[in-house]
Structure 1
Amino acid sequence: MSRAERLLSLMDEFRTHRRPVSGTDLAQNLGVSIRTLYRDIASLRALGADIEGEPGVGYVLNSGFMLPPIMFTVEEVDALVLGSLWVADKADRPMAEAARKAMARLTAVMPVELSDRTEAKYLDVTPGHHGEHESIDMAAIRSAIHHERKISVTYTDAAGKASERVIWPFFISYLDGARMISAWCELRESIRHFRTDRMVSLTEMPTRYPRRRHDLIKDWRALESRKFPHK
């Protein structure tokens, strides 16, 4: 392991501990000698990391230490989140763990407006191929979810009958052959699921929906667990 890799790994170790951790434990987790660990802590301090502690007491990394920001567009951030979720779920264990660590590392060096987007947790992946017959802009849906805004959609059911809906989108699922939006439907006054390939048109409204996305997701998960108790 190179020195740069050791320093990044040490930063990752510190981020997993909110309380002081002993040098012995850090060295063991990283697979280095205690002497090497002390040198690496000194190197991070020289770079500006606020690491408190000393041998025999333990060490803790205080918040605020930032590497130079990595700049991405919001679409690139969504792509990184979605890709890391897929790898974490589908790949072998080492690759899955690498995906999680890579995403955590990227989040740590992003500007706050982008790191907040990675932590919103409104993207998910399930097995299958994505639908290719959409006429709406997925970026608009992601924007509405991120900003907790209502959207107006023209939606067709399985029989081809169209209806106008105002919905509160809060989650995107990637299913076999389609993308699915989970949302509160004002017409039905309950949580409903909408296939994106059945959305004829979509308009993001300036109105924020009256509940937080986190609460809607919590209610949805509770509803799903009652419908599929062994899932």
Structure 2
Amino acid sequence: MTRSTRLLSLLQILRSHRRPVAGRTLADGLGISLRTLYRDIAALQAEGAEIEGEPGFGYVLRPGYMLPPLMFSADEIEALVLGMRLVANRTDPQLALAARDALSKIDAVLPADLRAKMAASPLLAGGKPRSPEDQMDLGLLRKAMQNEWTLRIAYRDDKGNASDRVIWPFALAFFDGARVLLAWCTLRNDFRHFRTDRIEILEQGEGRYPRRRTQLLKEWRQKTGVAERLF
């Protein structure tokens, strides 16, 4: 394990714990001595990582520290590139532009060797997914989720039945055949899934909905049994 890889692994371990982790536990997990661990912690602190603690007490990484791009591994760079390319090809124009801009920023700050790997990445994203065109503004939908706004929609189901609803949107899933909005439906008083191409009218409702978006997503996962790593 190279030193840069070891430092990244140390950060990842600390980021996964909210409480102080004993030095011996960290050293054993990385397969290094306590003396090497102390040197690594000092090196990360010198780079701006807010690692607090001392021998015999344990160490904790305070929230807010951003990993410098040079800490990305080659595999992580490829994952980022592929993800950005998928976003650029499969979302609304505003988010697609943001993905391309983010990719440019990553490229600008990478070391030369990783920049070359990114440019030569063999992982490409295909064209537009085979899904019907949306009549609604996906940008407005994303903004509503970010701000926890209620929405009024006119929806037509797979049998052609139309209904007007007030919903609390909390997530948007992208599939090859469709984009699906996850929301709490006040008409049904339950969670419902809406294909975005069947939403004929979408308007901002009155104010914010009374429950946090993250809480709705958590309750949806518990009810449907969908693991967090899958959605």
TM-score band, normalised by shorter chain: 0.5 to 0.7
Which residue number in structure 2 is paired with residue 51 of structure 1?
A: 52
Letter of the 1:164 counterpart: D
Q: 1:41 to 1:189 in 2, by over 3 A?
A: closer
Partners of 1:18 and 1:60 within 8 A in 2: no
Partners of 2:23 and 2:59 within 8 A in 1: no
Task: Please give the alpha-carbon distance, in whole angstroms, between the structure 2 residues aligned to 1:223 and 1:66.
Answer: 34
Which residue number in structure 2 is paired with residue 60 of structure 1?
A: 59
Q: 1:173 to 1:130 in 2, by over 3 A?
A: farther
- Offset at residue 60 of structure 1 (A): 0.9
Which residue number in structure 1 is paired with residue 102 of structure 2?
A: none
Partners of 1:52 and 1:59 within 8 A in 2: yes
Task: Please give the alpha-carbon distance, in whole angstroms, between the structure 2 residues aligned to 1:17 and 1:223.
Answer: 27
- What whole-Å deviation, never above 9, does each CA across 1:153-194 have from its counterpart, x for those lacking one? 222122334333221112333456222222222334433221
- Offset at residue 5 of structure 1 (A): 2.7
Q: 1:20 to 1:206 in 2, by over 3 A?
A: same
Q: How does 1:140-219 map to 2 (within 5 A)?
A: 140-175=140-175, 177-205=177-205, 207-219=207-219
Task: Please give the alpha-carbon distance, in whole angstroms, between the structure 2 residues aligned to 1:23 and 1:219.
Answer: 37
Partners of 1:14 and 1:61 within 8 A in 2: yes
Q: Secondary structure at the match of 2:42?
A: helix
Q: Identity of counterpart residues, as a percentage?
A: 45
Q: 1:64 to 1:169 in 2, by over 3 A?
A: closer
Across the two proteins, how many residue pairs are aligned to each other?
171
Q: 1:45 to 1:218 in 2, by over 3 A?
A: closer
Partners of 1:149 and 1:205 within 8 A in 2: yes
- Offset at residue 198 of structure 1 (A): 0.6
Q: 1:68 to 1:154 in 2, by over 3 A?
A: same
- Offset at residue 52 of structure 1 (A): 1.5
Which residue number in structure 2 is paired with residue 31 of structure 1?
A: 31
Gaps of 5+ in 2: 70-79, 87-128, 226-231
Q: Secondary structure at the match of 2:210?
A: coil
TM-score norm. by structure 1 comes to 0.59
Partners of 2:185 and 2:191 within 8 A in 1: yes
Cα RMSD (Å):
3.4
Q: How does 1:12-161 map to 2 (within 5 A)?
A: 12-48=12-48, 49-54=50-55, 57-63=56-62, 66-67=65-66, 83=83, 131-161=131-161
- Offset at residue 67 of structure 1 (A): 4.2
Q: 1:131 to 1:190 in 2, by over 3 A?
A: same
Q: 1:197 to 1:64 in 2, by over 3 A?
A: closer
Gaps of 5+ in 1: 71-79, 87-128, 226-231
Task: Please give the alpha-carbon distance, in whole angstroms, between the structure 2 residues aligned to 1:150 and 1:162.
Answer: 19
Q: 1:13 to 1:218 in 2, by over 3 A?
A: closer
Q: Secondary structure at the match of 2:143?
A: helix
- Offset at residue 149 of structure 1 (A): 0.7
Partners of 1:130 and 1:175 within 8 A in 2: no
- What whole-Å deviation, never above 9, does each CA across 1:38-71 have from its counterpart, x for those lacking one? 22122123334343112xx14312525634888x
Task: Please give the alpha-carbon distance, in whole angstroms, between the structure 2 residues aligned to 1:59 and 1:172.
Answer: 40
